[in-house]
Amino acid sequence: MSDPQLQSYEELPYESNAFTATHPDTLAVVALLHGMEPAPAPRCRVLELGCAGGGNLIPMALTLPESRFVGIDLSPRQVAMGQSRIAEIGLTNIELRPLSIMDVDEGFGAFDYILCHGVFSWVPAPVQEKILSICKERLSPQGVAYVSYNTYPGWHLWSLLRGMMSFHASHFKDTPTKIHQARAFLELLLHAVQGGTDIYARILEDEAAEVRKRGDAYLFHEHLEDVNTPAYFHEFAERAAKHGLQYLEEAHLSQPLPSSIPIEVRDILARMPVGLIHREQYLDFFRGRSFRRTLLCHDALALSRPPAADAITRMYLTAQAKSKKERLDLFSDAAEEFSAPDGRTVSSKDPLVKTALSLLGRHWPSALSFRELWQQAQAAMSGAPEPVRASLDQKPLTLAEALLECYAAHLLDLHAHPPRFASRPGPRPKASTLARLQAPDERLVTNLRHASVELDPFDRAVLHHLDGTRDPQALEAILADLVARDRLDIRVDDLPLKDPPKVAEVLKAALPASLQRLATCALLVA
């Protein structure tokens, strides 16, 4: 990172959050599916290049106390922020260093997982080469490296907006003014193309909608920094290969082409005599992909391709997939559609698959081992008609193959070592130390599934006081005091409530639901 870049991150630190895709268990699952023997998440060594304030590494260190974490970042300000949070929590298995990526050497030792999120596209070419060199030289034999980067062809569209905002902002000197002017110019640009029906207007409107909802740090570092160099996937893979690294997979299995792509196109692609890298590149062309989270490993490893479904029989599963119907027709061959919270869907006619997804949805947010899921599916289908029961004579691998497809479609998550949290609030509920520290001031809190969660003010106030010593009555008293001191706003019919007896009545009714929401969000310690 050059001096101007260092200065910009010192002046405007990037929001430092948890990224589920980078968690060692997430990476271990992909490695296991491809026949590797990765280090288990509870006992591993992790290096993060460009760790910012430690928002990604610190929650890992908290929930994986027997693992070791090292993060480096060129910005002393961001590292100091992370070191302060580490001291607050009292962690001893993590170290953040204010250091350049170029200074990483053999003294660091080997790591089972190397993470580089949101850095590669934003640094000059020599630093990019150093990142790949580190991934080769510091990675253990069965290790996995994660590198995210902007990709073409999708980023060609983003480049339109970036180029215009950068041009306008370049006329101003200080960072706050640059950001303000970039946003003002964006609105002027949208006003100029308002009502336009051509493709240019539609592209600008779509991309601008995303920028509008992002914070200033995102806008500045993504669109106004001097360096942002997207690449085609095949170019990235070729550069990695020169360092003795091979493409493993994306942090989540690469998805097949969407059903909107004509079947003839998919058939032609399937028949093309091209290798894995070129096939992935064609998929990016058809999807218009703009961002990748690529996993790399040593090129000497022989990988299972395609992913081996039998690995799932040794894993745990979670799924928030739900059917739109109140009553499911599980035992017929009628198709049932299950959808995830982000809108992704999968449809199945198979009674076994429908039963399994229904069971996982009922157990959410808790995990089921594949063995438990298989046993519960057998029990649930014991009353089904004979032809349906006969389908259970199929080996569990049939179910594993179907669940692998659901995993690729983002309808469920796989875990080698499932996260531990309380799915229901106990008599004296306790939240993680990190989440309680984040609750008062930070926009997002990190849950025990290593995901960032946004809460409303009431739930944040409750979360902050869940130290494991207070029962609901004590929590109600604390919340009532916050209301009395105008530190918490309670409203009925959109009017602020201040009368103590009515406040107490509302709090008594609202607290149990809040505690259960926090449990469902995986924020309570088991």
pLDDT tens sequence across 472-482: 999 999 999 99
Q: Tell me, what's the pLDDT at 5?
A: 57
Q: Tell me, what's the pLDDT at 258?
A: 67
Mean pLDDT confidence for 164-188? 91
| Report for 116-120, 197-201, 387-391: range of highest mean pLDDT | 116-120
Confidence band for 8, pLDDT divided at 50, 70 and 90: low
Confidence band for 6, pLDDT divided at 50, 70 and 90: low
Confidence band for 20, pLDDT divided at 50, 70 and 90: very high
Alpha-carbon distance values, 413 to 145, 321, 357, 383 (Å): 20, 10, 12, 29
**By C-alpha distance, which of 382, 345, 376, 343 is closest to 362?**
376
pLDDT tens sequence across 297-315: 999 999 999 999 999 999 9
The SS3 call for residue 258 is coil
Is there a contact between 280 and 292 (Cβ–Cβ < 8 Å)?
no
pLDDT above 90: residue 261: no
* Sign, CA torsion 284/285/291/295: positive
pLDDT above 60: residue 239: yes
- 37, burial (CB in 10 Å: exposed 0-12, middle 13-18, buried 19+): exposed
| 269 or 498: which leads in pLDDT | 498
pLDDT above 80: residue 205: yes
The amino acid sitting at 273 is: P
The tokens describing 307, both together, are: 């992913």
Mean pLDDT confidence for 324-334? 77
Mean pLDDT confidence for 103-123? 96
**By C-alpha distance, which of 351, 248, 365 is closest to 317?**
365
The tokens describing 477, both together, are: 């008293």
Is there a contact between 97 and 76 (Cβ–Cβ < 8 Å)?
no
Is there a contact between 162 and 227 (Cβ–Cβ < 8 Å)?
no
The tokens describing 18, both together, are: 């948890």
Q: Tell me, what's the pLDDT at 14?
A: 61
Paired residues of 148 in beta bridges: 293
The answer for residues whose C-beta is within 8 angstroms of residue 312's C-beta and 6 or more apart is 33, 370, 400, 403, 404, 407, 414
Q: Tell me, what's the pLDDT at 194?
A: 85
Alpha-carbon distance values, 241 to 183, 368, 402, 444 (Å): 40, 38, 33, 37
Give yes or no for a cis peptide into 258 (omega within 30° of 0). no
Q: Tell me, what's the pLDDT at 478?
A: 97
Q: Cα(41)–Cα(254) distance, rounded to whole angstroms?
A: 22
Alpha-carbon distance values, 137 to 31, 106, 430 (Å): 19, 8, 42
**By C-alpha distance, which of 451, 265, 256 is closest to 346?**
256
pLDDT above 90: residue 492: no
Mean pLDDT confidence for 231-251? 98
Q: Tell me, what's the pLDDT at 13?
A: 60
Q: Tell me, what's the pLDDT at 157?
A: 87
pLDDT above 90: residue 523: yes
Mean pLDDT confidence for 445-468? 96
pLDDT above 90: residue 158: no
Q: Tell me, what's the pLDDT at 336?
A: 85
The number of CA neighbours under 13 Å toward the Cβ of 228 is 24
1-30 burial string, b = 16+ CB within 10 Å, else e? beeebbebbeebbbbbbbbbbbbbbbbbbb
The tokens describing 415, both together, are: 């875990």
Q: Cα(318)–Cα(367) distance, rounded to whole angstroms?
A: 5
Question: Does an H or E element contain 421, and which?
Answer: none
The tokens describing 23, both together, are: 């968690």
| 2 or 78: which leads in pLDDT | 78
Q: Cα(179)–Cα(97) distance, rounded to whole angstroms?
A: 29
The tokens describing 223, both together, are: 């669109």
pLDDT above 50: residue 1: no
Is there a contact between 180 and 165 (Cβ–Cβ < 8 Å)?
no
Phi then psi dihedrals of residue 144, to 5 deg: -130, 130
Question: Does an H or E element contain 141, and which?
Answer: strand 139-152
Is there a contact between 77 and 10 (Cβ–Cβ < 8 Å)?
yes
Q: Tell me, what's the pLDDT at 457?
A: 94
| Report for 5-19, 74-88, 214-228: range of highest mean pLDDT | 74-88
**0.75 surpassed by pTM:** yes
pLDDT above 80: residue 27: yes
